[in-house]
Every structure is written in C-alpha cells, then in structure tokens.
C-alpha cells in the first residue's frame, strides 16, 4: 500500500507537468512566420467604418528570440487616412511575455497610395525609424488595407469641390456681404433665425445632394457666432458652431475664441482657445460630413 501511494503521487506530478508544458506550447509562435504578414483566424477584431477586411496580423522580429505580433482590433477612417488600433503581443523564445495596445495612422494620397505611417502620439514617419523587415511588413499591411475591395473610404462622405482646399478664412463681420432667404423655405431653419422671417447666410458649398451655409447667430449677447448648417432636400440635417467669440458676463476671464479650417481631405477642424474661459485651455475637434448631410465628429 505504501508503494501504491508513491506511484499515485508520481502520476499526479507527471500529469500536472504535462499540462504546464502544453499551456506553454500553445503560446508559442512559429519562428518561420516572424518576417511576414500572417492570417490569424482566431482573431475577431471589432471593425468600425471598414467591415470584413481580411483579419491579418503584422509579425516582425525585435531581436534575438524576440518577436512582435500586431493584431488589428479596430479600423476607422479619418479623411483619406485609416486609423488602426492594434493589440500587440511580445514573444520571447516563442512565449508571450507582454501585451499592450498601440494605434497607427496610415496616410494615403488621393490615388490611394500609402504615403506614411504615424504612430499615435508621435509626429514623424514611423517607417523611417524601423528596420527593413518592419518597414516591409507595415507597408504590405497598409497596401492590402487600402486596396481591399471591402474598403470604401471615399464614397460615403461629402467632399468639398467648389472651394479651394485647405480652406482657412476668418469671417470679417465688418465687410461680409450676406445672402438672405425666407426661413419657411427650409424645414428647421427658423430655429436659427432668432424669430425673424428672413435669415442672413453665407454660401460655403453646394453639391448635388448637400448645401452648406454659414449663418450668424444674432440672438443673445454674443453677436459674433457662426454656425455651419447642412441642408438636404430642403431640410436642415445638422448644425455645428464653427467660429465666434464668447464672453463670460461680469467676469475678467479671457474670451473663448473658436475658428475652423477645412483640410485637404474635406475634414473640418474646429479649434477653440481659452476653452470654458480658461486661459490658454485649447481644444481641437475634427468633423466629417456624410453624403446624407450629417456632420459627425471623428474620434479615434
């Protein structure tokens, strides 16, 4: 009976050891795959604006016995750029030792050719600082992404065509010449007219589907306020405060000043200084306009 106990203990220890080795083996990554982009069937990333893109990972070496695997978790659009959120796994001697998240912005020209890749939080071209195998892997991923038949990043958004981009003009309220229209001609326009039957406006852009105008908000104590209004089928679809100055009544706080530009990719950049009347507190938000006239904030 004493011998049987020792045999039982040995058997249990052997079983536990096998399970441990098996778990380590499941974490291994093949060294043969460290220089190419590989398919990861078990990865199920949350795709945002771009659906059904082939779920690929970027796998590169990072030293002797070290490899990094970049698996896309989310892909979204920022003008002509694609923003990819990666889950990064670090392997040492084929065993996972660390994991973290990183975001990269893949920038393309109008011909959908990859121009550069910028790591979120940095300003320089990521590729220029990397080893050849990393440059090749990230470039291949970016080219596959933009050329995928499932990626339709330019067809569902409104593009400015009648004004020269980038657009960066401050409205001179002392020289501007306004157009006028009756508020009852456009559904929803009366709420911006401060009770008047006619409304002043500036034409910004007009296309087949969407009409964009700038209107001054004459109500209240802040006459210098301009809103961007999108109109589709004679109805107001969206509005956005894009330029003006606000003052806090009976306060020595600095004026909150807002301005906007439209970049080369038809993205509206709205900048505010002294936000919430706090000195030098700055805020920048980016917006796109869909082909339905909806003004949507871009978050990434």
Nearest alpha carbon to residue 60 among 89, 102, 96: 89
pLDDT band at 99 (very low <50, low <70, confident <90, very high): very high
From the list 131, 133, 58, 68, the residue with the least C-alpha distance to 94 is 68
pLDDT per residue as tens digits for the range 114-147? 899 999 888 889 999 999 999 999 999 998 888 7
**pTM of the shown model:** 0.54
Report the alpha-carbon distance of residue 224 to residue 173 in Å, rounded. 8
- How far is it, in rounded angstroms, from Cα 217 to Cα 201? 10
Q: Does 11 or 258 have the greater pLDDT score? A: 258
Q: What ranges make up the beta strands (E) of 44-124?
A: 56-63, 66-78, 81-92, 95-108, 114-119
Whole-number Å distance between alpha carbons of 235 and 231: 5
Average pLDDT over residues 184-213: 91
Measure the CA–CA gap between 160 and 62, rounded to whole angstroms: 43
Lowest-confidence range among 14-18, 67-71, 262-266?
A: 14-18
Predicted confidence (pLDDT) at residue 36 exceeds the cutoff of 70: no
Query: Is residue 257 predicted with pLDDT exceeding 90?
Result: yes
Question: Which SS3 state, helix, strand or coil, does residue 260 take?
Answer: strand
State yes or no: pLDDT of 264 exceeds 50.
Answer: yes
Mean pLDDT of the chain: 79
User: CA dihedral in degrees (139, 103, 290, 272; nearest 10)?
Assistant: -130
β-strand pairing of 211-216 with 81-92: unpaired
Which whole number is the average pLDDT over 60-80? 83
Over residues 164-178, the pLDDT tens digits come to 888 999 888 888 899
pLDDT of 258 over the 90 cut: yes
pLDDT of residue 300: 55
Contact 176, 106 (CB under 8 A): no
Is the confidence at residue 288, as pLDDT, over 70? yes
CA distances from 95 to 35, 64, 89 (A): 17, 13, 10
Show the tokens assigned to 238.
């969206």
Q: For residue 148, what pLDDT is reported? A: 66
Over 70: is that where the pLDDT of 292 sits? yes
């Amino acid at each position: 009976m004493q011998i049987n106990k020792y045999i039982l203990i040995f058997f249990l220890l052997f079983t536990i050891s096998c399970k441990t080795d098996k778990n380590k083996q499941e974490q291994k990554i093949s060294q043969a795959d460290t220089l190419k982009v590989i398919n990861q069937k078990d990865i199920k990333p949350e795709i945002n604006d771009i659906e059904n893109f082939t779920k690929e990972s970027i796998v590169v070496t990072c030293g002797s016995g070290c490899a990094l695997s970049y698996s896309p978790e989310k892909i979204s659009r920022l003008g002509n750029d694609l923003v990819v959120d990666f889950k990064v796994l670090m392997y040492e001697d084929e065993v996972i030792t660390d994991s973290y998240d990183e975001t990269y912005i893949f920038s393309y020209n109008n011909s959908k050719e990859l121009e550069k890749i910028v790591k979120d939080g940095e300003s320089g071209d990521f590729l220029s600082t990397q080893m050849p195998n990393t440059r090749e892997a990230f470039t291949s991923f970016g080219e596959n992404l933009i050329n995928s038949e499932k990626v339709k990043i330019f067809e569902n958004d409104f593009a400015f065509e009648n004004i020269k981009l980038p657009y960066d003009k401050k409205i001179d309220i002392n020289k501007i010449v306004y157009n006028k229209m009756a508020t009852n001609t456009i559904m929803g326009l009366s709420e911006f007219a401060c009770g008047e039957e006619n409304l002043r406006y500036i034409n910004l852009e007009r296309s087949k589907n969407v009409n964009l105008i700038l209107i001054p908000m004459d109500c209240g104590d802040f006459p210098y306020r301009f809103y961007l209004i999108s109109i589709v089928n004679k109805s107001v679809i969206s509005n956005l405060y894009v330029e003006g100055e606000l003052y806090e009544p009976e306060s020595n706080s600095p004026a909150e000043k807002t301005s906007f530009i439209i970049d080369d990719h038809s993205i509206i950049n709205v900048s505010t200084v002294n936000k919430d009347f706090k000195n030098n507190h700055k805020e920048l938000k980016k917006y796109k306009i869909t082909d339905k006239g909806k003004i949507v904030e871009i978050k990434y």
